Amino acid sequence: MTTPQHVPITASPFHGNVRPLLNEVLHALDKLLETREATTIDLASLPFGPGELEHLEALLGTGELSAKLDALGSSSIRETAYPGVWWLEHRNAFDEIVGRYLEITHTPEILSSQDADIIAGRAHLEEQFE
């Protein structure tokens, strides 16, 4: 696990948008613990100044879990150094970032098997017995 930077947020030259966003993450963690309700923050929709997104990523650090998906482009999902806070990036077939999110949840939704996929997988497994 990569530990996040231990720089006071107020001491950072990049705290304009980072501090309010981290406050939103704190509230989302409280909501997750109290109601089990997940929160998704679309990082692409926020007006980051130069270097702020990179600073946010460094502050959040890297946790123990990560996953890669390939479906119409690649997706990377990684836990930050703060359990329950996940960094997700989606790329298209040209490897361009098409989505970047923070998901505050126990397990990111994209990692959950969908019922239709489970049904298809079950049918395929059953065919193995015929």
Q: What is the pLDDT of residues 16-35, one digit of tens each?
A: 889 999 999 999 999 999 99
Number of domains in the chain: 1
Model pLDDT, residue 100: 96
∠ Cα 63 3 41 (to 5°): 55
CATH of the domain at 109: 3.30.1370.140
Q: What is the mean pLDDT of residues 59-75?
A: 92
Cβ neighbourhood burial of 129 (10 Å; 0-12, 13-18, 19+): exposed
Q: What is the pLDDT of residues 71-125, one digit of tens each?
A: 888 999 999 999 999 999 999 989 899 999 999 999 998 888 889 999 999 999 9
Domain holding 74, by residue range, is 9-127
Does 32 map to a domain? yes
pTM of the model: 0.81
Does 121 map to a domain? yes
Does 2 map to a domain? no
Does 1 map to a domain? no
More confident residue, 42 or 8: 42
**CA dist 119 → 11, 108, 111, 114, 122 (Å):** 52, 21, 17, 9, 5
Does 4 map to a domain? no
CB atoms within 10 A of CB 25: 20
